[in-house]
Chains A and B, each alone.
Chain A
Amino acid sequence: MKEINSLKMEFLSKSVNEGFARTAVAAFASQLDPTLEELGDIKTAVSEAVTNCIVHAYPQSIGRIMVRAKIYADNTLEILVRDWGRGIADIDRARAPMFTTGGEERSGMGFTIMESFTDRMTVRSREGSGTTVRMWRKIAVRR
């Protein structure tokens, strides 16, 4: 599929950047003319993925987070969120609803929310070298 536009940004794993990241991707996605509901879904999915990097990938330190977004000719938005942190030992287990290593401050619903708010999500990870989450969401064409 032909790529129409792309965005790439990198920032430190500080929680003030959560709002920045989801707002930036939503602003980029607005050229697809999404509904408020579609925009809300995109913001939420980005927020979940970026928060995971901040909370889980770099629990005791500050690291880099990369977010890339692409728009394809068929009105699909692709979002990639990458870190170079701790990594995930068992991805299937991590994706299961309510699984968390984060204690009482987390609910273990992040991956479940990302999955239900996008059309497709893939997770690649290696312990000690980082995690890449990719999500695709097709925006309905209206006229």
Chain B
Amino acid sequence: MKVKATTKDGKMTIYLAGELDHNAAREAMFEIERQIDEKLPRDCVIDMSGLAFMDSSGIAVILKTYKRMHESGGRLWVENVPKQPMRVLDAAGIERIIRITILSE
């Protein structure tokens, strides 16, 4: 699991790559919070294009990041979601809370 972040004009993009399961989630969450605390972005995008696998542990990571951004009045959305993670987000009904765009292939 890899977490990378870039910030431009107050908007942070967090790139997740690899497999986001329970084994990877704690470290991923720690890194996301560290980046947000350091850069204090206005808005935040999670880019999932590099994600090979995700389960419900990833949902908790997204929801926690959403809460974190919401507290500071910022927005969060999820972009470039590959098929398998998208099926997980669909099954959990995350789109009712967070804007999601699919990875076009």
Which A residues have a C-beta under 8 Å from some C-beta of B?
A: 15-16, 18-19, 22, 36-37, 40-41, 43-44, 47-48, 51, 54-55, 97, 104-107, 109-110, 112-113, 116-117
Q: Whole-angstrom distance from the CB of A116 to the nearest CB of chain B?
A: 4
Bound Cα distance A55, B19 (Å): 18
Interface of B is mostly: helix
Total A-B residue pairs with C-beta atoms closer than 8 Å? 71
Residues of A within 8 A of B88 (CB): 44, 113
Complex contact B91–A116 (CB within 8 A): yes
| B72 within 8 Å of A (CB atoms) | no
Complex contact B22–A15 (CB within 8 A): yes
Q: Known contacts A109-B91, A116-B91, A117-B87: does B55 contact A104 (CB below 8 Å)?
A: no
Residues of B within 8 A of A55 (CB): 22
A-B contact pairs, 24 of them (CB 8 A): A15-B21, A18-B23, A19-B21, A19-B23, A22-B53, A37-B83, A40-B84, A43-B53, A47-B55, A48-B55, A51-B21, A51-B57, A54-B22, A97-B93, A104-B64, A105-B29, A105-B57, A105-B60, A106-B56, A109-B59, A109-B91, A110-B55, A113-B56, A116-B91
